[in-house]
Amino acid sequence: MITWSIWLRNKYILAVGAGKYGYKGLIKVRLIKKKNCQYELIQDKKKLIEEGWIYSIANLKSNRIAAIIRLQICDYLQILNIKKGYLIYSIQLQKRPHLFPIHQYNFNLNPFAFIQDQESISIINLRNYSSTNLIALKFSDLKSRKKQQSLVNYKIKGKENFNTYKLIYLNKMQELTQIREVKIKIP
């Protein structure tokens, strides 16, 4: 899982997280351009997050990411400064959440993301960390690793639809899976 890339004078800086196969944590790597189509990958010696499985990552703004992290049996939304390598904010979440930035995300104008867990879809303001439940779900047997394709959102165009988004999501309970669609207006 890779997010947060920034191009600085012939190099990319990336945050890379692991969520399975025994790997844990979040690392920062640099991809340095040596020649045309030749790059060198250099991993920072210190991990940004030492422990935990990373289930989803989102770029918030320059030098800042949000990540859903499982530490032991608890899930957290953590906001991190990648450049300086420190934690800005952490909140405990429940029921295997996954993070979905809204379509046309912009930290200054539109700092929202959807968080889907096994029981609901919520919206969170990534500037002040306030959240609101939007939709109740029956998602009892879908694990977090499989959630990355379970919600799609896009902004509806037109003046009458200012800050209106369409959500298409899966609602799953045992053998029955439903695809649902709903419009959400963000204040």
d(CA 120, CA 134): 7
What pLDDT shows up at residue 145?
47
d(CA 32, CA 55): 27
d(CA 44, CA 82): 11
Structure tokens, 183: 């419009």
What pLDDT shows up at residue 91?
92
Q: What is the pLDDT of residues 163-176, one digit of tens each?
A: 888 988 877 767 77
Structure tokens, 155: 């902004």
d(CA 149, CA 169): 9
Q: What does pTM read for this prediction?
A: 0.77
Structure tokens, 113: 């993301």
Contact of 33 with 21, CB cutoff 8 Å = no
CA 114 vs CA 6, 21, 24, 137: distances in Å: 24, 27, 24, 14
pLDDT digits (tens), the chain, 187 positions: 444 444 445 567 777 776 655 567 888 887 788 888 888 888 888 888 878 888 888 888 877 888 888 888 889 999 988 878 888 999 998 878 888 888 888 888 888 899 988 888 899 998 898 999 988 877 655 554 456 667 888 888 887 777 888 988 877 767 777 788 889 888 7
What pLDDT shows up at residue 144?
44
Domain borders along the chain are: 1-93, 94-187
